[in-house]
Amino acid sequence: MSKRHLFNSPDGLVNKALRGIIAYNPSLSLDEANRVVYDTAYDRRNVSIISGGGSGHEPAWTGYVGSNMLAASVQGDIFASPSTKQIVAAVEAVPSDKGTILVITNYTGDCLHFGLANEKANARGHNCRMIICGDDVSVGKKGSMVGRRGLAGQIGVLKVMGGAAGAGGSLDDVYDLGVAFSQQIVSIAATLDHCHVPGRTEHGMLDDNEVEIGTGPHNEPGYKKISPAPTPSELVQSILKHCLDENDPERGYVKFAPGDETMLLISNFGGMSHLEMGALVDEVLEQLARHWNMEPSRICAGFLETSLNAPAFSVSVINVTAAAKNCRYSVDEIKSFFDARTNTHWESMAGSQATRRPRKEQLVRSPQEERKTVGDKHDLKVDPVILEKMLRNACEQLIVAEPDLTKWDTVMGDGDCGETLKTGATSLLAALDNGLAKAGSVVQVLLELEDIVESKMGGTLGGILGIFFVSLRAAVEKNIELASSKGAVALWGEAVSSALQSLRRYTPAKIGDRTVMDTLIPFAEATRTGGLDHGVKAAVQGAEATKTMTPRLGRATYVGAGANGNKELPPDPGAWGAMVVVQGDVVLKPSDNNTESQWVGEALCRLTDSLPGNANYRVSKPIPLVDDATKDPVDRFSEILQTSQGFHHDIKGITLDKPAFIGNRGNRWDAADLVTWNERQLTDIASVSEEMLAYFEEPLEELRQMIKPLPSDLPLQLIHGDLTGNVLFDANGRTPPGIIDMTCYWRPAAYAEAIVVADGLAWHAEGRDLVELYGVDEVRIQLLVRALYWRVITFAIDTDVNWIREHIAKADYPKAVEILRSVIADKPLR
Section 445-452 average pLDDT: 89
Q: Are residues 177 and 314 in the same domain?
A: yes
CA distances (Å), 427 to each of 445, 488, 496, in order? 12, 27, 23
Cα–Cα nearest to 35, from 13, 59, 18: 18
pLDDT at position 799, please? 64
CATH value at residue 420 = 1.25.40.340
Give the range of the structural domain holding residue 342, as residue numbers without chain letter.
Answer: 13-359
Convert the pLDDT of each residue in 8-41 to its tens digit. Answer: 777 889 999 999 999 988 999 999 999 999 999 9
Same domain membership, residue 244 and residue 273: yes
Average pLDDT for 804-830: 77
Examine the domain organization and report whether 249 and 151 are in the same domain: yes
Mean pLDDT of 221-227: 85
Q: What is the CA radius of gyration of the chain?
A: 37
Helix, strand, coil proportions of the chain in percent (round to 5)? 50, 10, 40
In a domain, 4, yes or no: no
Same structural domain for residues 628 and 528?
A: no
Q: Which of 502, 515, 510, 519 is nearest to 583 (CA)?
A: 519
Round the average pLDDT of the chain to a whole number and report it.
Answer: 85
Residue 709 lies in a domain: yes
**Last residue of some domain: 562, 583, 604?**
583
Q: Which residues are within 8 A (CB) of 138 and not within 5 positions of it... i.e. 6 or more apart?
A: 149, 188, 189, 213, 214, 222, 223, 224, 242, 251
Q: Are 555 and 614 in the same domain?
A: no
% of the chain beyond a pLDDT of 70:
85
534 catalytic per annotation:
no
Mean pLDDT calculated for residue range 232-236: 95
SS3 assignment, position 23: helix
pLDDT higher than threshold 60 for residue 620: no
Residues 745, 719: contact at Cβ < 8 Å?
A: yes
Q: Is residue 367 part of a domain?
A: no
Would you say residue 731 has pLDDT above 60? Answer: no
| Whether residue 163 sits in one domain with residue 196 | yes
pLDDT tens digits, 262-292: 999 999 999 999 999 999 999 999 999 999 9
Do 346 and 422 belong to one domain? no
Is residue 150 annotated as involved in ligand binding?
no
pLDDT band for 144, please (50, 70, 90 cuts).
Answer: low
pLDDT of residue 53: 95
Query: Is 110 assigned a ligand-binding role in the annotation?
Result: yes
In a domain, 679, yes or no: yes
In this predicted structure, what is the pLDDT of residue 590? Answer: 36
Confirm or deny that 54 is annotated as ligand binding.
yes
Q: Looking at the structure, do residues 336 and 436 belong to the same domain, yes or no? A: no
- Give pLDDT, residue 558: 43
588 within some domain: no
Could you say which of 312, 328, 359 is where a domain stops? 359
Is residue 189 domain-shared with residue 111, that is, in the same domain? yes
Same-domain pairing of 72 and 217: yes
Instruction: Indicate whether 674 belongs to any domain.
Output: yes
Q: Which H helix or E strand runs over 207?
A: none
From 525, 560, 583, give the residue that closes a domain: 583
Q: Which of 113, 196, 218, 534 is catalytic?
A: 218
Helices 813-826 & 749-763 angle (0-180, nearest 10): 120
Query: Do 313 and 193 fall into the same domain?
Result: yes
Tell whether 589 is covered by a domain: no
Note whether residue 366 is domain-resident.
no
- The total of structural domains in the chain comes to 3
- Specify the pLDDT at position 1: 52
For residue 106, how far is the Cα from the chain centroid?
39
pLDDT of residue 598: 58
The amino acid occupying position 800 is D
- Low-confidence winner among 380-389, 556-565, 746-755 (lowest mean pLDDT): 556-565
Of 145-154, 395-404, 731-740, 768-777, the one with minimum mean pLDDT is 731-740
Express as a percent the part of the chain with pLDDT over 90. Answer: 43
Same domain, 146 and 46: yes
Query: Is there a binding annotation on residue 57?
Result: yes
